[in-house]
Amino acid sequence: MVFPGVLKVGYPLLLGGAHGCVNRTLLIRPLRHRICGRMITVAALYHFTRLPDPDSLRPALAAVCKTQGVKGTLLLAEEGINGTIAGSRAGIDAVLAHIRALPGCANMEHKESLASEMPFNRMKVRLKREIVTMGQPNVDPTAGTGHYVDPENWNDLIAQPDVVVIDTRNDYEVAIGTFEGAIDPKTKSFREFPTWWEANKDRFHNKRVAMFCTGGIRCEKSTNYLLSQGVEDVFHLKGGILKYLENVPQENSTWQGDCFVFDGRVSVGHGLKEGPHQLCYACRRPIQPEDVKRPEYEAGVSCHQCINEYNEESRERFRERQKQIRLARQRGEPHIGDGC
């Protein structure tokens, strides 16, 4: 059975009552669609600039997104703007033009890719303390960052014997792909990075440090942080992994695996093609299609990575959420717990 607006291409559906009769083979994507038969443009963006009153910018920004049919998430803070949005070509252009008209945002850069379906269910414009949370009040990328390295020059840099390469992303992101030889700090969140660095910095004495992340934003803060700690030679991949995968041919690439992305595509590979991964909606970690056949997997309730992380009370809540998602789909309606 395929519900209105749903395609049989990738997201788990729980069938049955509150306790669930899990169908481990029927995988569907939430209520997403193409726009008039065309591919959907996905734009990832961030920009550090001082916004004294970010809350005052929310209504107009949300309004232009709604008018243009653009969906996704945009975060506003006094330090700038960050987010990923998706929509038609004209819609994305209109929203980007609005953002670049904001104070200090005229030079904002963004990265684009295409999605076969809308990767978001709704539009969120949120106010945050930080646009990427590091928890270091003295970190200020506008005051200085590491040396930018273009994707085309990245391989040569990280091949040098005096260069150490650090992946600044979270452990579940690193698990599905990273650069050959990169160090994984095994952090659960970016907030843990300064503690990890303090505990490991002696390992990198007299080394040049090259850092990378998904789109570049975490490296803006991490390289500024290392400079404040007295590290002299700090570099980071301009445009992040996404720009590398877009610009560097696979035959010349030192990237291994896929890159986790924070939208309904879950992962992308070389050429920014959509990857094979799905999302466990209990722990929000990526899983492979074959992982849904494992005994620990129950759609929206558990996977092999989180089976021991939640108690039965939590799993019952997850099952009830899946039930409500199923009922909403049958009505052809979106549900707040359904996808991104």
Q: In this structure, are residues 309 and 315 in contact, taking their beta carbons and an 8 Å threshold?
A: no
The residue with tokens 């910095």 is 201
Q: Using CA of residue 151, residue 152, residue 153, residue 154, what is the dihedral sign?
A: positive
DSSP string spanning 285-309? -EE-GGGGGSTT-BTTTB-TTTTTT
Instruction: Please choose, from the candidates 162, 102, 282, 134, the residue with its C-alpha nearest in 3D space to the C-alpha of residue 222.
Output: 134
Q: Which element (helix H / strand E) includes 75?
A: strand 71-77
In whole angstroms, give the CA distance from residue 104 to residue 221: 18
Q: In this structure, are residues 174 and 184 in contact, taking their beta carbons and an 8 Å threshold?
A: yes
105 part of the active site: no
Q: Which element (helix H / strand E) includes 189?
A: none
In whole angstroms, give the CA distance from residue 125 to residue 339: 17
Catalytic residue among 213, 219, 280, 303: 213
Quote the DSSP letter at residue 84.
Answer: E
Residues recognised as catalytic: 213
